[in-house]
Amino acid sequence: MILLVTPSERASECAAALHEATGEGVAVAESLPRAATLLRTEGYLAVVLDQYLLETEPHEAETTLEHLGTAIPVQVNLGISGMERLVREVRAAVQRRQHEEVRARQAAIGKLQSEMNGTVTALLLSSELALETPGLPPAAAEKLKSVHELVKRLRKQLETQDASGGDEAAASR
């Protein structure tokens, strides 16, 4: 969902153009206080702010910007910008955001896989050392072997994920 913040008479025309270009729903707020209220109640992908409002109402602009959350702010002078420019700037901002999200997700997955690989290695080593314990009861040895096999299977799954994750990362570039 995109929030368009403008008192312009062209608001509905701009909203329709943004919806057509992005496929996202578009809500319109005619003032910054109304925008702040909407931002508190719903999450938005992008917030298109009419530069006129930002310049004429700096205090309200600050309050509105504090409520953006994860929405991408896009400042546009709707008094002089045509529809093509508005659509181009919003589309570019949304695409940048999507690329940033992919990179952040890949970084988080990589970090998690790295941490899990360390834990799996420790589990393998610990179970191998425990299996070498002299006088280990046969029932305990069987359970340890079972745990060791499960951890080896987990390692293979992680390696498979590493390999496929690398292919996805390359494909998304």
pLDDT tens, position by position, 65-81: 999 988 999 999 988 88
pLDDT on residue 27: 96
What is the C-alpha to C-alpha distance for residues 73 and 121, in angstroms, rounded to an integer?
44
Supply the pLDDT for residue 81. 84
Give just the sign of the alpha carbon dihedral 136, 140, 143, 148.
negative
Residue ranges of alpha helices (H) inside 83-137 are 83-131
Contact, 50 vs 7, CB < 8 A? yes
> What's the pLDDT tens digit per position in 153-171?
998 888 887 777 655 544 4
pTM (two decimals): 0.66
128 with 56: CB under 8 angstroms? Answer: no
Across 70-98, average pLDDT: 91
